Amino acid sequence: MPNTGPRMMKSKVKLYIYDIGTGTGDWASDFAEQHPEAKVIGTDVSPIQTELMVANTEFLFEDCLEFWSFSPVSVEYIHMSWLFGSIDDWCALYKQAFACLKPGGYLESHEASPLIRLKGCDSEVSSASAIHQWGNLFVEAGRRSQRSFTVVEDGLQAKAMKEAGFVDIQDETLENPIGTWPQESEKRLIGQYSKLAMEEDLQGTINYVAHSVGWSWEETLVLSSQVRNELQCPENKPYFLQRIVWGRKPSDSV
Ligand SMILES: C[S@@+](CC[C@H](N)C(=O)[O-])C[C@H]1O[C@@H](n2cnc3c(N)ncnc32)[C@H](O)[C@@H]1O
């Protein structure tokens, strides 16, 4: 996924950066490497972070839905990405970020849509197709668990940031290709990575939500192989939406 963090922070002064739900910690490590003047702290509930840590990174076991252990007004920049399906209250999450940020500091949130679209023929994504079913499965799982997967479709990031008190809220929506169908070389590369990431564990991804919609292992096996086939189909030009939203804590707030 695109690493857009550095464009937000050009200062050379000592910076404190938090990456909430850091996953493997790749983003935190890349940012720390590019910004030796910064201290980057990643948090997660899964201990899957890289052991090859960059010196100015630190990883903490912390649930972002609970009270954050960071001091108020302690950080210049907070980054979060791909937390859709894990968050029950986006405003409460962003309010915690607001409290930790120094006045003038930024929150940047990247979220993706689980709906796979086909370039040039969105209206023709048949409801019988596996690709369509895939998206529906996540939408339904999010509805049942009250942890929405339709963060992008519902514009939740901007709404919740505004409600949490952020100002100068801006956004950018990317169409991330899946596969090597784009002509442009950078998009082709992104598509190659997206497809590889999806195919790596299609069934595991479905299994992540299968229990909440009552699907059997066999059903997930069938859907994952059908999705795999549809992704290979040369006429299909699949992509998904990713939205980046960033906002500033007002300079006169504490
Ligand atoms: C899809 S991964 C994204 C990881 C990383 N942010 C990225 O963009 O590559 C979602 C991550 O959020 C973490 N996560 C989910 N719920 C969380 C919570 N309540 N508190 C902290 N981390 C959480 C998961 O453990 C997982 O590592």
For residue 137, being part of any structural domain is answered with yes
27 CA distance to ligand 1 middle (Å): 12
C-beta atoms surrounding 76 within 10 Å: 20
Can you give the pLDDT of all 254 residues of the chain as single tens digits? 444 444 444 444 478 999 999 999 999 999 999 999 999 999 999 999 988 889 999 999 999 999 999 999 999 999 999 999 999 999 999 999 999 999 999 999 999 999 999 987 755 567 789 999 999 999 999 999 999 999 999 999 999 999 999 999 999 999 999 999 999 999 999 999 999 999 998 999 999 898 889 999 999 999 999 999 999 888 889 999 999 999 999 999 87
Q: Is 44 in the pocket of ligand 1 (CB under 6 A)?
A: yes
Tell me, yes or no, whether 112 lies in a domain: yes
> Could you give the CA distance from residue 93 to residue 86 in angstroms, rounded to a whole number?
11
Does residue 105 belong to any structural domain of this protein? Answer: yes
Give the DSSP letter of residue 46.
S
Atom of ligand 1 nearest to the CA of 65: 19
CATH number of the domain enclosing 81: 3.40.50
Q: Is residue 80 part of a domain?
A: yes
| 197 Cβ below 6 A of ligand 1 | no
Residue with CA at minimum distance from ligand 1 atom 1: 82
CB 154 within 8 A of CB 91: no
Query: Ligand 1, from 17, 31, 45: best to mutate by most atoms within 8 Å of Cβ?
Result: 45
In a domain, 144, yes or no: yes
Which residues are CB-contacts of 142 (< 8 A; sequence separation ≥ 6)?
84, 85, 148, 149, 150
Domain count across the chain: 1
Q: Are 75 and 105 in contact (CB under 8 A)?
A: yes
Q: Does residue 92's CB lie within 6 angstroms of at least one atom of ligand 1?
A: no
Q: Which residue has the least CA distance to atom 10 on ligand 1?
A: 83
Residue 107's domain comprises 70-249
Residue 54 falls inside a structural domain:
no
CA atoms within 13 A on the CB side of 23: 9
Q: Is residue 108 assigned to a domain?
A: yes
Q: Is 86 in the pocket of ligand 1 (CB under 6 A)?
A: yes
CA 19 / ligand 1 centre spacing (Å): 10
Helix (H, G, I), strand (E, B) or coil at 195: helix
Distance (Å, whole) CA 169 – CA 173: 14
pTM of the model: 0.92
Q: How many residues does the chain have?
A: 254
User: What DSSP element (H or E) covers 33?
Assistant: helix 26-34
Q: At 99, is the secondary structure helix, strand, or coil?
A: helix
Is 99 a member of any domain?
yes
